């Protein structure tokens, strides 16, 4: 195989007749140009025109998008919502965190009127959530944990120990055996490891 | 997923390494990062030095100007060190006037200059009560990755040794200064203080030359400044966890060996400029 | 800065010793140091050298010449003070001079050159056409440039350096932006990439141009002094040529930095 070529923004890659523009490219005057510094990758899917894109693996500038699952840390709570910092999108860590909000009515899917924010999250908890809206000018990203797989994944008790989930709404401290209430996520077995 | 563990539980991540007496970057607990010193690269300054400790980079430029000596000490000049932490070196800093950390660092450096007697301010006086040198030492952090004080101290000492001042005569008739750029002389540097910083983890582990990450997680910090006669010039321990006396003694002896390492590096850097 | 308790204070006033230099030795450094009038200084560039920034670059023009360092942060959540909900991202630029970066007096209290705000804005205007801000809604990208040593043509150097750092940060761009300066000497001759002596002597007028090299479009043009039709056309042409000569150097540097930073993708993944 030929070595993968490297390109810089503004480099002309090919004509739009030869390829379709993919990620990290733009079209102008019938040609495809690179808009990123990275490696040129051509991919042909089922006989259609090959897609040319520029790959830059390390940390592609992900911004949270509607539907993506994010991992975040709870920074503060009040009676109506919990504020969080988004730290991961999927399994990609973000270098700059974004702020998000989980409203009370988005915490769980059923019995929405009985939800209490403080019985679901505490500041410092690590929570998996789904982005449901980018928000408007005033508000930040709106997140939801209304799915079995979403909710608190790591939490610390008042004694400072990492708590163990015992049901979908309770966690227990291994030191003091005190139970605390949380909206616990049913963590997928493939994510469980030491 | 190791990266994930690190982001979510950074302290636990470090503890696992410390149990094995090593650090995530592969160093031993008493090991400094690679130190490089580059002297005299800024030709618009009267003296300059670029010092790197691993990633942490500080550029020191010294500009010498004329001024009137202070009224309360007519036989002295000024040394004005200022540490600048711009948003360029880390996104945690904001533009505008110096923040808390920069102010603390500036004051610390100023205190070390006074306490260590590294240079006599009397030597900066040109004409008693009339004219003196003021040395503006600007320490600009270019890449902020922990252990700012050690890097700054090293850059300052290297830059001051690189300073060449033009010779000055006072014209008897006019009373004005006459500067001759052709003959220049170096400053008289009497002492070479070197700073050595430690991070304290869980009250027991001492990590020398902490990175930015380690500083953020440590329960306490400690900086020891010594000179070539193995005397202490300054120690700084801003709050944090308490430290036993023997631990402190350990730090001081490490600082003394560090002084020898830095002195060698400094001499090499200065010699390379002279030979050019 | 008198009254500023946040810095270590020096004397109220001080003067540069250069003011008292005996006038007999007027022999300044000889002219262009052997350069032709339309010959830019050789350039040394490096990208991706700072650990804390998303992207960074260093540019040095000529040996013992202008030195510029640039760091790029972002794209990150837009800070306060946004005017409207825009679908485009925002590019913020800041261009500063180190207090010891000029040969004249120390400039800690009153920064030399154009005010930081003005310089930053000039830089921003030159870079903006090159950046695909539509790709970063609700976010901002911040460019910090520090001139470590100013031996002439600092703004054009800052433009080239900043666009290199942006590309190194993986920001999507239409093209790199390259800068080139020019000044008209006392005799009316056009000097490309002037050093600080020539900038000082070039009272006739100065020009600073930035170019998107592959698209061959001018993204910024700042000129001062009086320019007449033909000479200004000639000046623009010279500047554009100067930028094009810079392109291979930056291109090579960026490819090198990218290869260092990013592993080669495996053809089978995805």
Q: How many residues does chain C have?
A: 270
Residue closest to B258 by CA, chosen among B3, B39, B53, B15: B53
Q: What letter does residue C185 receive in the DSSP assignment? A: -
Name the residue with tokens 């013992």: C64
Instruction: Give the chain C residue nearest A2 (alpha carbons).
Output: C267
Within-domain flag for B14: no
Provide the percentage of residues in chain B whose pLDDT is more than 90.
32
Kindly state the helix (H) or strand (E) to which residue B95 belongs, with its residue range. Answer: none
Q: In this predicted model, what pLDDT tens digit does every residue of B82-112 receive, in sequence order?
A: 998 988 888 888 887 888 889 999 999 999 9
Give CA–CA dist C107/C103, Å, rounded: 10
Instruction: Give the chain A residue nearest C217 (alpha carbons).
Output: A10
Residue closest to B88 by CA, chosen among B102, B77, B76: B102
| Paired sense of beta strands B194-201 and B164-170, if any | unpaired
Shortest distance, CA C61 to any CA of chain B (angstroms): 13
Would the CB atoms of C132 and A56 count as touching at under 8 Å? no
Within-domain flag for B20: no
Residue A42: per-residue pLDDT: 82
Of A8, A39, A59, nearest to C251 by CB-CB distance is A8
Provide the percentage of residues in chain B whose pLDDT is more than 70.
96
Residue C200 or residue B166, greater confidence: B166
Domains held by chain B: number: 1
Identify whether the C-beta of residue A146 lies closer than 8 Å to the C-beta of residue A120: no
Does B57 have pLDDT greater than 90? yes
Using a CB–CB cutoff of 8 Å, tell me whether B146 touches chain C.
Answer: no
Give CA–CA dist C69/C168, Å, rounded: 13
Residue B14: per-residue pLDDT: 82
Residue closest to C59 by CA, chosen among C190, C180, C147: C147
Instruction: Give the chain B residue nearest A71 (alpha carbons).
Output: B8
Residue A193: per-residue pLDDT: 45
Interval B211-224 mean pLDDT: 87
Which domains does chain A possess? 6-55 (2.40.50.100), 68-187 (2.40.50.140)
Shortest distance, CA C128 to any CA of chain A (angstroms): 14
A127: CB partners within 8 A, 6+ apart: A71, A72, A73, A74, A84, A102, A121, A145, A150, A151, A152, A153, A185
Count of CB contacts below 8 A, B vs C?
144
Within-domain flag for B127: yes
Would the CB atoms of C15 and B66 count as touching at under 8 Å? yes
Give CA–CA dist A116/C250, Å, rounded: 57
**Which residue range(s) make up the domain with B184?**
31-275
Identify whether the C-beta of residue A166 lies closer than 8 Å to the C-beta of residue A172: yes
Residue closest to B51 by CA, chosen among B164, B187, B142, B136: B142
Residue B235 pLDDT class (50, 70, 90 cuts): confident
Q: What is the pLDDT along chain C (270 residues), one digit of tens a residue?
A: 445 677 888 888 888 888 887 755 444 454 566 777 888 888 999 999 998 888 999 999 887 789 999 999 978 777 655 555 567 788 889 898 898 988 877 876 555 556 677 888 889 999 999 999 888 877 889 999 999 998 888 899 999 999 999 999 989 899 999 999 988 877 778 888 888 777 777 667 888 999 999 888 999 898 888 888 788 888 899 999 999 999 999 999 999 988 888 777 765 444
Residue B150: per-residue pLDDT: 92
Within-domain flag for B24: no
What is the value of ipTM here, to two decimals? 0.85
Q: In this predicted model, what pLDDT tens digit does every residue of B180-212 receive, in sequence order?
A: 888 888 888 888 999 999 988 877 888 889 988
Does B58 have pLDDT greater than 90? yes
Interval B269-275 mean pLDDT: 80
3-state secondary structure chain C: CCCCCCCCCCCCCCECHHHHECCCCCCCCCCCCCCCCCCCCCEEEEECCCCCCCEEEEEEECCCCEEEEEEEEEEEECCCCCCCCCCCCEEEEEEEECCCCCCCCCCCCCCCCCCHHHHHHHHHHHHHHHECHHHCCCEEEEEEEEEEECCCCHHHHHHHHHHHHHHHCCCCECCCCEEEEEEECCCCCEEECCCHHHHHHCCCEEEEEEEECCCCEEEEEEEEECCCHHHHHHHHHHHHHHHHHHHHHHHHHHHHHHHHHCCCCCCCCC
Does B59 have pLDDT greater than 90? yes
- Tell me the two tokens of residue C158: 């800052």
Within-domain flag for B11: no
- Tell me the two tokens of residue A18: 């030869």
Residue A87 or residue B239, greater confidence: A87
Going across the sheet that includes A6-7, the strands are A6-7, A38-43, A51-55, A20-21
Residues of chain A with pLDDT under 50: 1, 193-194
Does B114 have pLDDT greater than 50? yes
Residue B1: per-residue pLDDT: 41
Residue C19: per-residue pLDDT: 81
Would the CB atoms of A55 and C84 count as touching at under 8 Å? no
Residue closest to C160 by CA, chosen among C260, C33, C250: C250
Which domains does chain C possess? 37-76+88-102+113-261 (3.30.230.70)
Within-domain flag for B17: no
Of A35, A137, A140, nearest to C85 by CB-CB distance is A137
Within-domain flag for B4: no
Neighbours of B107 (CB within 10 A): 14
Kindly state the helix (H) or strand (E) to which residue B186 belongs, with its residue range. Answer: strand B177-186
Residue closest to B176 by CA, chosen among B90, B66, B49: B66
Residue A194: per-residue pLDDT: 37
Instruction: Give the chain B residue nearest A94 (alpha carbons).
Output: B7
Within-domain flag for B255: yes
Would the CB atoms of B91 and A88 count as touching at under 8 Å? no
Identify whether the C-beta of residue B147 lies closer than 8 Å to the C-beta of residue B210: yes
pTM for the full predicted model: 0.81
Residue C136: per-residue pLDDT: 82
CATH classification of the domain holding B246: 3.30.230.70
């Amino acid at each position: 195989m030929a070595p993968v070529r490297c390109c810089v923004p503004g480099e002309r890659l090919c004509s739009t007749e030869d390829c379709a523009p993919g990620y990290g490219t733009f079209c102008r005057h019938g040609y495809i140009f690179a808009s990123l510094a990275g490696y040129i990758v051509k991919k042909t899917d089922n006989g259609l025109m090959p897609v040319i894109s520029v790959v830059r693996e390390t940390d592609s500038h992900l911004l949270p998008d509607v539907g993506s699952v994010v991992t975040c840390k709870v920074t503060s709570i009040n009676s109506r919502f919990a504020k969080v910092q988004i730290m991961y999108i999927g399994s990609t860590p973000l270098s700059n965190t974004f702020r998000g909000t989980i409203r009370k009515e988005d915490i769980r899917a059923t019995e929405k009127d009985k939800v209490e924010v403080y019985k679901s999250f505490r500041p410092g908890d690590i929570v998996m959530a789904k982005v449901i809206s980018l928000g408007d000018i005033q508000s930040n990203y709106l997140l939801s944990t209304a799915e079995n797989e979403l909710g608190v994944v790591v939490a610390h008790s008042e004694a400072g120990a990492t708590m163990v989930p015992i049901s979908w709404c309770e966690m227990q401290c291994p030191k003091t055996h005190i139970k605390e209430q949380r909206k616990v996520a049913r963590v997928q077995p493939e994510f469980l490891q030491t | 997923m190791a990266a994930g563990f690190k982001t979510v539980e950074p302290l636990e991540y470090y503890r696992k390494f410390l149990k094995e007496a090593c650090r995530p970057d592969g160093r031993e607990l008493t090991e400094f990062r690679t130190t490089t010193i580059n002297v005299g690269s800024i030709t618009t300054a009267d003296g300059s030095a670029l010092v790197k400790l691993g990633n942490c980079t500080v550029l020191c430029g010294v500009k010498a100007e004329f001024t009137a000596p202070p009224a309360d000490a007519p036989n002295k000049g000024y040394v004005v060190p200022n540490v600048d932490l711009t948003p360029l070196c880390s996104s945690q800093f904001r533009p505008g006037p110096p923040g808390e950390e920069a102010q603390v660092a500036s004051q610390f450096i100023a205190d070390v200059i006074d306490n260590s007697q590294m240079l006599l301010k009397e030597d900066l006086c040109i004409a008693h009560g009339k004219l003196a040198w003021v040395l503006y030492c600007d320490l600009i952090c270019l890449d902020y990755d922990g252990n700012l004080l050690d890097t700054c101290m090293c850059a300052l000492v290297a830059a001051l040794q690189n300073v060449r001042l033009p010779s000055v005569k006072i014209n008897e008739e006019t009373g004005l200064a006459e500067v001759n750029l052709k003959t220049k002389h170096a400053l008289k540097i009497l002492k070479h203080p070197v700073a050595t910083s430690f991070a304290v983890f869980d009250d027991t582990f001492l990590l020398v030359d902490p990175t930015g990450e380690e500083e953020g997680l440590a329960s306490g910090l400690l900086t020891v400044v010594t000179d070539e006669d193995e005397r202490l010039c300054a120690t700084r321990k801003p709050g944090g966890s308490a430290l036993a006396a023997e631990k402190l003694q350990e730090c001081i002896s490490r600082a003394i060996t560090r002084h020898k390492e830095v002195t060698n590096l400094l001499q090499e850097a200065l010699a390379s400029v002279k030979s050019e | 800065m008198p009254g500023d308790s946040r810095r270590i204070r020096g004397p109220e006033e001080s003067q540069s010793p250069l003011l008292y230099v005996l006038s007999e030795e007027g022999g300044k450094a000889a002219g262009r140091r052997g350069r032709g009038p339309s010959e830019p200084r050789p350039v040394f560039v490096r990208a991706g050298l700072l650990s804390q920034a998303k992207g960074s670059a260093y540019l040095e023009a000529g040996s013992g010449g202008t030195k510029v360092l640039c760091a790029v942060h972002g794209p990150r959540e837009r800070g306060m003070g946004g005017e409207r909900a825009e679908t485009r991202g925002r590019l913020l630029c800041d261009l500063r001079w180190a207090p010891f970066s000029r040969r004249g007096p120390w400039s800690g209290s009153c920064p030399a050159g154009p005010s930081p705000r003005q310089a930053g804005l000039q830089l921003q205007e030159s870079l903006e056409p090159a950046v695909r801000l539509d790709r970063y809604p609700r976010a901002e990208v911040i460019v910090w440039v520090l001139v470590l040593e100013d031996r002439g043509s600092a703004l054009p150097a800052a433009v080239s350096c900043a666009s290199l750092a942006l590309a190194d940060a993986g920001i999507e761009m239409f093209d790199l932006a390259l800068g080139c300066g020019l000044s008209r000497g006392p005799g009316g001759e056009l000097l490309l990439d002037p050093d600080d002596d020539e900038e000082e002597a070039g009272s006739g007028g100065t020009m600073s141009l930035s170019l998107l090299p592959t698209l061959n479009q001018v993204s910024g043009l700042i000129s001062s002094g009086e320019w007449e039709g033909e000479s200004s056309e000639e000046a623009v042409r010279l500047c554009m040529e100067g930028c094009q000569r810079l392109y291979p150097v930056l291109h090579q540097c960026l490819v090198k930095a990218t290869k260092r930073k990013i592993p080669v993708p495996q053809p089978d993944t995805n």
